[in-house]
Amino acid sequence: MATSEAAATPQGAPVARRLSLLRVLGPMHVWALGVGIVLVGEFMGWNFTVAKGGVFGALVACWFAGILYSCVAMIDSEVSSTVASAGGQYAQMKHIVGPLAAFVMGLFLIFEYCMLASADAIVIGAIMAELNANFQPLPWVILSLLFLTWLNYRGVHLSLTFNFVITAIAFVTIIILLFGGEFWNPGKIFQTSELFAVQPDGVDPKAPYGWLGFLAALQFGIWYYLGIEGTCQTAEECRSVPRALPIGTMSGLITLLIAATITWFVGTGLVDWVTLGESAFPLYDAALNTGRQWLVVILFIGTFLSCLASANGCINDASRAWFAMGRDQFVPRFFGGVHPRYRTPYRAILFLVPITLGFGYTGLLDQVITFSIISGLLMYAIMPINMIRFRRLYPMGSIPRGYVHPFHPAPSIVLLLFCIGTFIAIYFGYWKNLIAAMAFYILVSVWFIFRRYKVVDRSKLYTMPWPRPKGY
Amino acid sequence: MDTAAEVLNWVAWAAVALLALYLILDAARVESTYDNDLLVSSVEGEIEKEILIHAETISAIEKEIAEETPSVDTGADKSKEVE
């Protein structure tokens, strides 16, 4: 076997001692990653809040989840602006809480994103079958995943520039639906007053199940924003982490708050609450109700592109988390490999393809999505601990920060309380899934403590040039 | 049966085969050309200090430490050199 230096230069080119991920991303790419993963939630999924809590329940869930994710974005922006490492929350946990928390966080990230990518691919297959009944879903599911894998393999700049374009188009389609429905002219196309009115049988679409319905709606409210925290995964590939991450994440969150509110307004103003609560493609159905064929075509394109953007972002994020865990030997070191030409974590990207395809092949969309959501929520529940500990170990002025979030520790406490509320809502609807997920994560934690951590080279775990934490 | 849809299904399968082939062949080429130690040599990144909040504070602290600490070879420094 050749030595590393000789091997790096097969044609006698200058010697490269270390391979690293390329630092080529700006705020635009960070925005594209965050919004790209999430925007699919506006095109499908959020509408189940209407079935649980009525139209006002859906709005409460939208804003409630908006507050939850504002806390997530603020916390992530501050901590990530100091941790220039792939893996995002995984790397944060490793430096601030400890190896076990980092390992579990890494798994949360991988399962959240792999399963979300699978769900997106399943939906792409379903959309193709909707387009023409003779299209088989399977080749299109695999093609979409392999195409996005190829993009991610070829370079992060390429894949996230592509994501920016398709995400921007998908976002614009929501705006077009708002204007195409002539929102300034209520009663012509939008039937908000009529659809919100108490029905002849006495059911009030605004809150058919009262406050309990509002609580139940919370479990689907996170669809409006699920995945925005994925922006942290680009930390090692940003040209300027302290600038790009906070700007990209915050602008992404603002975009999503606007998109979510418009989505709620358009959906509830064009489709009756019962149909909306059961719809697989709510915005597409809203476009159908406008009676304008060009809007239907535009929303079809928007739905398709949002799925593609989400799957692309998920492949990017899951591979960075797996790569970071490989680099620290929490999983085999082999997965910490970087492509010498494209500078991408190519082994992690390729390894996750069959896993994502496997989840997609099951076709169990609801189960796949529920596990993804539970993994995400578990991650959010740990983040407040991470933030409070971060401020204790590294008080203001002790470590360079690209962003400082206001009112600490209020966002951490609010996030924790909102997570507890959402867990209660999920327990009512999916208690078996919640317990199964918890049991799985506890088992792998035991495996990590008693088996895997023994082979980890702890001297190489912390290479970040950080000062010694307060009290150590 | 819609022939165009049938053909497109096969086109999709062909594209799947091409992409899979490309990914496998390129990964195999990289594995055979480069040493594994080089491929797994990446480490966590660094933050650019000049555009950070409190950068001046940090620079001042670092300067102060540098002035106070005599230049001694620590274990950490040695391990860096070996790397």
Q: Between B13, B34, B53, which is nearest A8 by CB?
A: B34
State the pLDDT at residue B78: 39
Within chain A, which residues score under 50 in pLDDT?
1-16
Q: Which residue type does A407 have? A: F
pLDDT band at B59 (very low <50, low <70, confident <90, very high): low
State the pLDDT at residue A27: 95
Residue A457 backbone phi and psi in degrees, to 5: -80, 95
State the pLDDT at residue B2: 78
State the pLDDT at residue A428: 82
Report CA-CA distances (Å) from A332 to A93, A317, A327, A329, B72: 19, 18, 8, 5, 36
Distance CA A142, CA A122 (A): 9
Q: ipTM value of the model?
A: 0.86
How many CA atoms lie within 13 Å of A376's alpha carbon, on the beta-carbon side?
32
State the pLDDT at residue A13: 46
Distance CA A385, CA A440 (A): 22
Q: For residue range B18-56, what is the model confidence (pLDDT) as tens digits?
A: 999 999 999 999 999 999 999 998 888 765 555 555 556
Q: What is the dihedral of CA A320, A118, A143, A163, to 10 degrees?
A: -50
pLDDT over 60 (residue B81)? no
How many CA atoms lie within 13 Å of A285's alpha carbon, on the beta-carbon side?
20
CB contact under 8 A, A17 and B41: yes
Q: Does the beta carbon of B58 lie under 8 angstroms from any beta carbon of chain A?
A: yes
pLDDT over 50 (residue B76)? no
Interface of A with B in 167-226 (CB under 8 A): none
Q: Between A142, A400, A404, which is nearest B58 by CB?
A: A400
Interface test with A, best of B39, B61, B65, B69 (most A CBs within 10 A): B39
State the pLDDT at residue A247: 94
pLDDT band at B68 (very low <50, low <70, confident <90, very high): low
Query: Which residues of A are less than 8 Å from B63 in CB distance?
Result: none
Query: Which residues of A are less than 8 Å from B36 in CB distance?
Result: 334, 337
Q: For residue range A425-453, what is the model confidence (pLDDT) as tens digits?
A: 888 888 898 999 999 999 999 999 999 98
Closest CA to A121 of A96, A155, A147, A156: A147
Find the radius of gyration of the CA atoms of chain A.
22
- Nearest 5°: CA angle at A158, between A156 and A159? 65
State the pLDDT at residue A172: 97
State the pLDDT at residue B48: 55
Calculate the CA B77 to chain-centre distance: 23
Q: Does the beta carbon of B29 lie under 8 angstroms from any beta carbon of chain A?
A: no
Q: Does the beta carbon of A149 lie under 8 angstroms from any beta carbon of chain B?
A: yes
| CATH superfamily, domain at A23-456 | Amino acid/polyamine transporter I (1.20.1740.10)
Closest CA to A42 of A281, A206, A268, A228: A281
Q: Sign of torsion, CA A349 A351 A356 A361?
A: positive
Interface of A with B in 440-459 (CB under 8 A): 459
User: Which residues sit opposite A238 in a β-bridge?
Assistant: A25
pLDDT over 50 (residue B75)? no
Report CA-CA distances (Å) from B75 to A45, B46, B80: 55, 21, 9
Distance CA A358, CA A127 (A): 20
pLDDT over 60 (residue B83)? no
Separation in Å, CA of B61 to nearest CA in chain A: 9
Separation in Å, CA of A356 to nearest CA in chain B: 15
State the pLDDT at residue A146: 96
* 3-state secondary structure string across chain A: CCCHHHHHCCCCCCCCCCCCCCCCECHHHHHHHHHHHHCHHHHCCCCHHHHHHHHHHHHHHHHHHHHHHHHHHHHHHHHHCCCCCCCCHHHHHHHHCCHHHHHHHHHHHHHHHHHHHHHHHHHHHHHHHHHCCCCCHHHHHHHHHHHHHHHHHHCHHHHHHHHHHHHHHHHHHHHHHHHHCCCCCCCCCCCHHHHHCCCCCCCCCCCCCHHHHHHHHHHHHHHHCCCHHHHHHHHHHECCHHHHHHHHHHHHHHHHHHHHHHHHHHHHHHCCHHHHHHCCCHHHHHHHHHCCHHHHHHHHHHHHHHHHHHHHHHHHHHHHHHHHHHHCCCCCHHHHCCCCCCCCCHHHHHHHHHHHHHHHHHCCHHHHHHHHHHHHHHHHHHHHHHHHHHHHHCCCCCCCECCCCCCCCHHHHHHHHHHHHHHHHHHHHHHHHHHHHHHHHHHHHHHHHHCHHHHCCHHHCCCCCCCCCCCC
